[in-house]
Structure 1
Amino acid sequence: MSRYALNIAELSFAYGQKKALDNVNIQVEPGECTILLGPNGAGKSTLFALITRLYDSRLGRIELCGYDVKTNSRQALAKLGVVFQQTTLDPDLSVTQNLRYHAALHGLSQKTADLRIQEELERLDMYERRHEKVRQLNGGHKRRVEIARALLHKPSLLLLDEPSVGLDVPSREVIVRHVHQLAGRQNLAVLWATHLFDEIGADDSLVVLDKGVVKAQGKLSSVLSATGTSSAGQLFSQLTQGKSS
């Protein structure tokens, strides 16, 4: 078994002649929250598409808990939970119905599914709303349901693609706190793409991606020290020459 929940080695990808990722190497260990920062067009979405097998690359290697996503796709993707930027819940189904459907796709019995649904929704203070249709929920509550859904099958790695976009500050704070607690308490590996610097914890690891190239990575404190910067915002501006994320 690999020591890494996610191991990306020498990964490159191009759209025709346009290179989107260039020799990317990223490792995420269990219990670690890694923040992926990059301006628009940096390659963040392409990277997530490759990890989840929406795209395929001939150059490089992606492993989830030691399983190659190309040669052992089923075993690899079983280790993965994903929250995409755009909601993928069925608005006409209840919270419980959405979660039961996802659990069934992963082969969970209804008894096991219902126990895990209760567990995850209670952690997110959403259990009392389990019978409500998704369309009745606000953006923050929908995000909580999507995080619960991503965790039902007990993944080893959680991918979060800009999960707090469009949410108010209290909703963002709930999600940030919950995900960081999960990483620490459940030994869950997290790769979190965000453009909001206040979502980065002091103990998080950081990957700065620009034009498909990793410009810096490591523990936040170490990267700040190595670059002579005092904050994640200053670091980001320096490495990406002030581009907007």
Structure 2
Amino acid sequence: MADARISADLTDQVAIVTGASRGIGKAIALRLAESGAKVACVARSADKLAETVSEVESAGGVAAAYPCDVADTDAATKLVEQVAEEWGRVDVMVNNAGITRDTLLPRMSDEDWDTVIATNLRSVFAFSRAAAGVMMRAKRGRIINISSTSGLRGNEAQANYSASKAGVIGFTRTVARELASKRRAITVNAICPGFIATDMTDALKKAAGEEAVTERIKAVVPLQREGQPQEIADAVVFLASDSAAYITGQVLTIDGGMTC
């Protein structure tokens, strides 16, 4: 696991992380486990989930794989209920799963639109709704949604992706108001990553050329580098901790200054 930069004690807490098989989601699962949480790792690929679980366990953490189509609302609800039954609680819900189907609007098919909205936005609704029910009974919880700077400023050839991520932000702010009370003690926040070193940016480099992408990053990112998945994971750990108990309805942008 990555060296910890933020310290938080999440001992005995249970976290669910969607999109935990790779990239940012995998880094989040590892950091939450490193902080003491038991982690339910969710994604479509059982094989890749097994790799994440193996890394957690090799480092002394506790995790289990829950293969699931996150766009299936019934499956999402059953998964959350299963985790709560098997592990006794759900303290942290991290909605990270996301895909792209990039193309310019005139060429974008209904399937391109529907698939991205279902995976990136409907899954956030389904998992948050199910997790909120468990958290309300426990009178405590953290819902952390991974959006994107594309949801803040738009991005060419990503009308579907940008719409889904903007939707996550609006959803976050509304649900934060609904669940915020002293009696419930549930916080809901979003994180907007910028250019982060993941499979998605690797695919962009292959399509446009690594040198071209590197030069673009230098031109638009004041810190002139990609972020690392661990830097997003650190923010998740903070928002999951008691130190963030008075933070809700917020959108934390982690993009090296690109949108400042």
* TM-score w.r.t. length of structure 2: 0.34
Higher relative contact order (CA 8 A, sep 6+): 1
| TM-score (norm: length of structure 1) | 0.35
Answer 1 or 2: which has greater helix percent.
2
Structure showing the higher strand proportion among its residues: 1
